[in-house]
Amino acid sequence: MLGLVLIAGSTIGVWALVAAADDTTRVLVAPSTISAGTRIEPGALRTEPVRLGALADGYLVPGDVPEGGLVVIRTVRAGELVPAASVAEADTARRATVVIPTRGALAREIRPGAIVDVWTASELERGVYEPPVVLISGAEVAAVLEDDAMVATGGPSVEVLIPRDKTAAMLEALAAGDVVDLVPADAAGAD
């Protein structure tokens, strides 16, 4: 009887030691190639245990895909671990990132996550501009990029997320040298 107790205790001890040393992470894997633009639902991916160590944060794990799904923004090959950077919320996937140089100091409300309206004015002749108009309403500030140059050439640049269908108009305004200003959205409607 004592022998059975020792064998059972030894077996449980070995199992506990192996379980404690297991540093695998359950991550999501593409069962087949998923093209950019495809919406994936929570059950569309399979789960596999892998050893990634500190790199585990860069991949989707069970529970990362919300009920409404995610949109793939770069192709994920069959059998590939799904990188977190390869998917986006549906509304983010329909937006483009544009960097807008500014002419001077920014309003203190303009920081990552802020919603701004993008105003533009075309130059008619030297120093004479058309009345400003809202080119894009409700753009999201992704980042404020400070000028690293030795001699400052103006204000910081602002990386904004804009609707994809407004990208051409925004790039055209920048290429034409139009004056572009960012106005915090809540301030735009103030009296």
Strand order in the sheet with 87-88: 39-40, 70-72, 87-88
In CATH, the architecture of 23-90 is: Alpha-Beta Complex (3.90)
Q: Which residues pair with 47 in a beta bridge?
A: 28
Q: Render pLDDT for 1-46 as a digit per residue (tens, 0 to 9).
A: 766 666 766 777 666 555 555 568 889 999 998 877 788 888 889 9
pTM for this predicted structure: 0.52
Exposure string for 5-27, b = 16+ CB within 10 A, e = fewer: eeeeeeeeeeeeeeeeeeeebeb
Q: Render pLDDT for 44-71 as a digit per residue (tens, 0 to 9).
A: 899 999 887 777 788 888 988 888 888 8
Is the model's pLDDT at 77 over the cut of 60? yes
Q: Give the closest residue to 174 by CA, choosing from 157, 191, 151.
A: 157
Higher-confidence residue of 157 and 152: namely 157
Cβ neighbors of 157 (< 8 A, separation 6 or more) are 99, 100, 101, 102, 144, 145, 147
Is the model's pLDDT at 148 over the cut of 90? no
